[in-house]
Amino acid sequence: MKFVVLQDINGRWYWELRQIAGPPVARCSLGFSTREGAISDVRAVRERAPRCLIFDPLGNLEAEKKHGGL
């Protein structure tokens, strides 16, 4: 997986999380006014993502984590 920082037609900066060879699997929803802002957000996601758990819409912890699968 890799993060790609790109600028849209309106001049806003976004990041995408992409497979090495394939389509994006995630994209930030908030556009940034500067490239540096988007890169800073990527760094924040990379720092916090390993600590994130997965929940269903009702707030229940997904079974994979409960059973040590993640």
Q: Residue 56: its pLDDT value, please? A: 77
Domain ranges for the chain, please list them.
Answer: 2-66
β-pairing, 13-18 vs 24-27, is antiparallel
pTM for the predicted model, two decimal places: 0.70
Residue 6, phi-psi category: left (phi > 0), alpha (psi -120 to 50), beta (remainder)? beta
Q: pLDDT averaged over consecutive 10-residue blocks of the chain (70 residues)?
A: 91 91 87 94 87 78 59
Q: Residue 15: its pLDDT value, please? A: 93
Q: Residue 68: its pLDDT value, please? A: 52
Concatenate the DSSP letters of all residues of 29-69 into one string: SS-BSSHHHHHHHHHHHHHHGGG---B-TTSPBPHHHHTT-
Q: Residue 36: its pLDDT value, please? A: 95
